[in-house]
Amino acid sequence: MKISDLRIDYILKSLDEKEVTASPIDQFKIWFEEALKAKVLEVNAMTLSTVRQDGLPNSRIVLLKGVDEGFIFFTNYSSTKGKELNDHPYAALTFFWPELERQVRLIGKVSKISPEESDEYFFSRPYSSQVGAWASPQSQPIPNRQFLEDNEKKLREKFDQQSMKRPDNWGGYRLLASEVEFWQGRASRLHDRVLYTQVLEGSWKIQRLAP
Ligand SMILES: Cc1cc2nc3c(=O)[nH]c(=O)nc-3n(C[C@H](O)[C@H](O)[C@H](O)COP(=O)(O)O)c2cc1C
């Protein structure tokens, strides 16, 4: 099988710029609910793209953990992505929901959520994940796997469930989108694309883009 021969024709659904909601957040919620119903695997997994200091892009998957006026995810603030967001607080998020032949792309400004919001999520996680957040100096070179396991053991001795704290360098970010694109795969590569661009706070221009 040649990679170049892999091909799927998209036939499931359509998207009309006259039928979407006025706000991309509402449209995202509708699509997210549909993705949940369609049992999309890892439906809240999204590619987070940041900009490195040398101008090169950098992408990795993180999990969406909430949607309010923005899109919330959690990570280690001292990680590579944390440093990149500190230097350049803009990012892109991309969802791919193959079961529905859909993609959603967002671009926006990123800021840390409040310590209280980070605490709320941190303490809702299982104890083992809380220990894991402490045990991993995310994105740093480490000598071997044993280093992590030794760290974990020490941290389980240091903190029990009652005395657990959130690491200062672990918490959430919120991306406030200024552009959001919804992509629906269609037959013959004539896909539907609807782009929202923020014109004023709370007000959006809606355009259809060529696929
Ligand atoms: C399905 C999946 C979900 C992930 N979720 C997160 C997440 O929510 N937060 C996080 O920091 N890393 C998450 N990761 C790991 C990141 O992709 C990445 O390896 C890590 O954050 C280090 O990235 P960085 O060195 O660019 O900072 C996830 C990876 C996968 C494959």
Taking the centre of ligand 1 as the mean of its atom positions, its distance from the CA of residue 140, in whole angstroms, is: 13
- Catalytic residue selected from 166, 189, 193, 208: 189
| Residue with CA at minimum distance from ligand 1 atom 22 | 139
Predicted confidence at residue 121, as pLDDT, reads 98
CA–chain centroid gap for 56, Å, is 19
| Boundaries of every domain in the chain | 7-119+170-209, 124-165
Taking the centre of ligand 1 as the mean of its atom positions, its distance from the CA of residue 211, in whole angstroms, is: 30
Query: 7-119+170-209 maps to which CATH number?
Result: 2.30.110.10
Predicted confidence at residue 146, as pLDDT, reads 98
Predicted confidence at residue 122, as pLDDT, reads 98
Among residues 99, 35, 81, the alpha carbon closest in space to that of 175 is found at 81
**Which pTM value belongs to this model?**
0.97
Average pLDDT of adjacent 10-residue blocks, the chain of 211 residues: 93 96 98 98 98 98 98 98 98 98 98 98 98 97 98 97 97 98 96 97 95 98
Instruction: State whether residue 28 is helix, strand or coil.
Output: helix
Distance in angstroms (rounded) separating the CA atoms of residues 24 and 106: 10
Among residues 110, 107, 89, 102, the alpha carbon closest in space to that of 10 is found at 102
Do residues 50 and 17 lie in contact, with contact meaning Cβ atoms separated by under 8 Å? no
Strand partners, 68: none
Predicted confidence at residue 201, as pLDDT, reads 85
Establish whether 145 is a catalytic residue: no
